Chains A and B, each alone.
Chain A
Amino acid sequence: RKEVEQDPGPFNVPEGATVAFNCTYSNSASQSFFWYRQDCRKEPKLLMSVYSSGNEDGRFTAQLNRASQYISLLIRDSKLSDSATYLCVVTPLRGGSYIPTFGRGTSLIVHP
């Protein structure tokens, strides 16, 4: 079983739609959690950190469920510019260090 699992998609949604992604992780001792966005042939960029209490940044809401070992990302009122790959990042303890570990990413395509 992979340490971090994501549905690769693609998720194909119209502008204005609400879309949600989930990500599951296997190491319960993981410390920090993030969502990153990656555009085609570019480096990943931090979208938001994820907390158990949930956090919101404009149209984006992230949630961590430690008991079930998953994190989620909700995008409301999708824009064409939201089209990208969304990478889930978890930091399991590996050999004494917390190592950021990525899922394979979920592709989002927002169409007019």
Chain B
Amino acid sequence: DTGVSQDPRHKITKRGQNVTFRCDPISEHNRLYWYRQTLGQGPEFLTYFQNEAQLEKSRLLSDRFSAERPKGSFSTLEIQRTEQGDSAMYLCASSSGAVGNNYGYTFGSGTRLTVV
């Protein structure tokens, strides 16, 4: 499978618990993005990695959220002390190339988080 993989597909957690999601991008893609999507909205940008460097973070990414991409391959997104408002689909995307990328971004199937 040469697509973007995300694990788990679904996660139900109790409020206050910590959760961690994993994303495996397409192997030759050096750029990785995390998004959050709620019903009726487009994906909202959370953070961006180029190789192992986290180059951009959204204001949406509160101090309860942290992301890593330790070896420039897979990435993890952790949410600490989850709140009901964190319930959403968390999407990972990857891409190659530099400025002026016209090949787009490939998304994984997402992790659907439900906080109860």
Contacts and interface: CB of A to CB of B under 8 A. Distances in A.
Instruction: Answer yes or no: do A and B interact.
Output: yes
B87 interface: no
B40 interface: yes
Contacts of A44: 43, 91, 107
A96 B55 contact: yes
B22 to A, nearest CB: 16
B114 interface: no
In this complex, the interface size class of chain A, counting residues with CB under 8 Å from chain B, is: 20 to 34
- Of A4, A43, A89, chain B has the most CB atoms within 10 Å of the CB of A43
Interface string A82-111: 000001010100111111111111000000
A8 B40 CA distance: 8
In this complex, the interface size class of chain B, counting residues with CB under 8 Å from chain A, is: 20 to 34
B33 interface: yes
Interface stretch (B12-20, B64-72, B75-83, B94-102): B94-102
B45 A99 contact: yes
A49 B95 CA distance: 14
Given A43-B91, A43-B107, A43-B109, A94 B56 contact: yes
A97 B48 contact: yes
A51 B43 CA distance: 22
A31 B100 CA distance: 6
A91 B98 CA distance: 12
Interface of A: 4, 6, 8, 31-32, 34, 36, 42-46, 49, 51, 87, 89, 91, 94-105
